[in-house]
Amino acid sequence: MAGACCKCPVAVSVFKRSLSVAPRGCGPAVRPQLLGWRLGERSLQEAARPCSALRPAGFYRHTAFLCLSCQESMSESLRTCYLYLNQTSRSFAAVIQALDGELRHAVCIFYLVLRALDTVEDDMSIPLDKKVPMLNDFHTYLYQQDWCFTESREKDRQVLEDFPTISLEFRNLAQEYRDVISDICQRMGVGMAEFLEKKVGSMKEWDLYCHYVAGLVGVGLSQLFSASKLEDPEVGQDSELANSMGLFLQKTNIIRDYLEDTREGRAFWPQEAWSQFAERLEDLAQPERLESAISCLNLLVTDALRHVPDVIVYLSRLRNQSVFNFCAIPQVMAIATLSKCYNNPMVFQGVVKIRKGQAVTLMMNATNMRAVQTIISQYSQEILQKVSLTDLSRDKTLHILGVIQEKSAQSQSSLPSTTHHLSPMYLSAAMLLAALSWQYLSTTAAQAQGIGDMQGQ
């Protein structure tokens, strides 16, 4: 038994939507990416879809009202789960709640289960001889109605203390959703336990680590999409593409957060890469090693870019607008971030961020496949223009950029020739997305100031 088990009652008088974003400095040692498909906690198709498949005009103007109306029919335990969702997922809680039908509840519970699992992994106060069995067995707690853990010191410990409420709503889901969530929880728990005392060594191990903490989330979400009937069965069946969606986001986070992670004693850059340029990972931040550091950075960016062709294929298969928005926006934010990181010394000196206006534009535009293709092509060209003649990864970088451009052109030619612009029904959604992006980037700016203060001390 892990900790004292209890049923923690929570009175919910008002259900509020939070648009705040947690600073990355509070992040875990292992970062599952649920809603990194979230780029996740960090920031939010009609082109290839018939107009009749889209939501009616005015839908988004009433989204908030509909959400409040739905709450009235929810059980108290389900309302509590959405309260926890808003408290812990923050920036993308609103996007989860914009998903259609019963998929919304399934993804909400999926997130909370993985958040609870992640909280166990993050808690350094739990000894390994206790933590490893908890991670391996965590999926079994979903069917133990009274299991909870009251000894955590983590900021999100409420999802463990009141796990009986979350597990109750898990058991209320349809069987097809429960099977997916339980399976992913088991596989992720085993992976987390494996990497507790294991550093990321080879490039293959980097892929495996990212698979456990992000790729599996992509696989699970894809299976939920298909189980909901909002997407075709092939979306959930093609685990390779779903895995690439998660790996692209996770690798982008790891690359961008080099300085923050190394200062906090976390090492996620694969040793096979950085050992070519330094004796220790943290040495890459030394000014005299800047040239070598840039070479290592560009090597890893190139490796992350190899997932983009899979991202293009995956997104092109989606049919439901809410699912497309949920998946596409983090991906375009990721490639914009990679473009900003490529060949950029600031990765080793401070915080790399995209401009607020740039983020708002990305979030407003990434609502159809043609627009997403244009965005991917744009940032691929930006990276191409920055490839140095002397960069050690130059040939590989040029090759993958060529593949991305070719894949983008192929997908573009297969789309309908009609114009694809945001329709009036997206105006309210755009305002929401703009608010989310503002919160995300304001937090990043605060982080930059914090790091600057640290450097000055």
Last residue of a domain, one of 156, 183, 198: 198
**How buried is residue 208: exposed, middle or buried, by Cβ count under 10 Å (0-12/13-18/19+)?**
middle
The residue annotated as part of the active site, out of 266, 370, 379, 440, is: 266
Q: Are 436 and 94 a contacting pair, CB within 8 Å?
A: yes
The residue annotated as part of the active site, out of 82, 268, 314, 326, is: 326
In a domain, 25, yes or no: no
Task: Please say if 65 is a catalytic residue.
Answer: no
What tens digit of pLDDT does each residue of 102-142 get? 999 999 999 999 999 999 998 888 999 999 999 999 999 99
165/207 same-domain check: no
Residue 350 has pLDDT above 50, yes or no: yes
378/246 same-domain check: yes
pLDDT computed for residue 353 by the predictor: 87
164/279 same-domain check: no
Domain count, the chain: 2
pLDDT computed for residue 72 by the predictor: 62
In a domain, 130, yes or no: yes
Residue 381 has pLDDT above 90, yes or no: yes
The residue annotated as part of the active site, out of 209, 212, 248, 348, is: 209
Q: Which two tokens stand for residue 259?
A: 């300085």
What one-letter code names the amino acid at 333? M
231/350 same-domain check: yes
136/279 same-domain check: no
Q: What is the mean pLDDT of residues 61-90?
A: 70
311/256 same-domain check: yes
| Residue, of 360 and 309, whose pLDDT is higher | 309
Q: What is the mean pLDDT of residues 31-50?
A: 39
In a domain, 263, yes or no: yes
pLDDT computed for residue 51 by the predictor: 33
Judged by DSSP in three states, 337 sits in: helix
In a domain, 435, yes or no: no
The C-alpha atoms of residue 386 and residue 382 are separated, in whole angstroms, by 7
Task: Please say if 209 is a catalytic residue.
Answer: yes
Question: Distance between alpha carbon 235 and the CA centroid of its chain, in Å?
Answer: 18
The C-alpha atoms of residue 408 and residue 405 are separated, in whole angstroms, by 5
- Please provide the average confidence, as pLDDT, over all residues in the chain: 80
254/400 same-domain check: yes
Last residue of a domain, one of 171, 198, 225: 198
Domain that holds residue 114: 74-198
How far CA 395 is from CA of 132, 165, 407, in Å, comes to 42, 53, 18
Query: Which of left, alpha, beta for 220 (phi over 0: left; psi -120 to 50: alpha)?
Result: alpha
Task: Please say if 266 is a catalytic residue.
Answer: yes
319/231 same-domain check: yes
| Residue, of 427 and 304, whose pLDDT is higher | 304
184/159 same-domain check: yes
pLDDT computed for residue 2 by the predictor: 46
pLDDT band at 38 (very low <50, low <70, confident <90, very high): very low
218/171 same-domain check: no
174/298 same-domain check: no
The residue annotated as part of the active site, out of 79, 256, 317, 370, is: 256
Last residue of a domain, one of 198, 230, 261: 198
Residue 93 belongs to a domain with what CATH number? 1.10.600.10
Task: Please say if 256 is a catalytic residue.
Answer: yes
The C-alpha atoms of residue 371 and residue 45 are separated, in whole angstroms, by 9
Angle, helices 427-456/63-73, rounded to nearest 10 degrees: 90
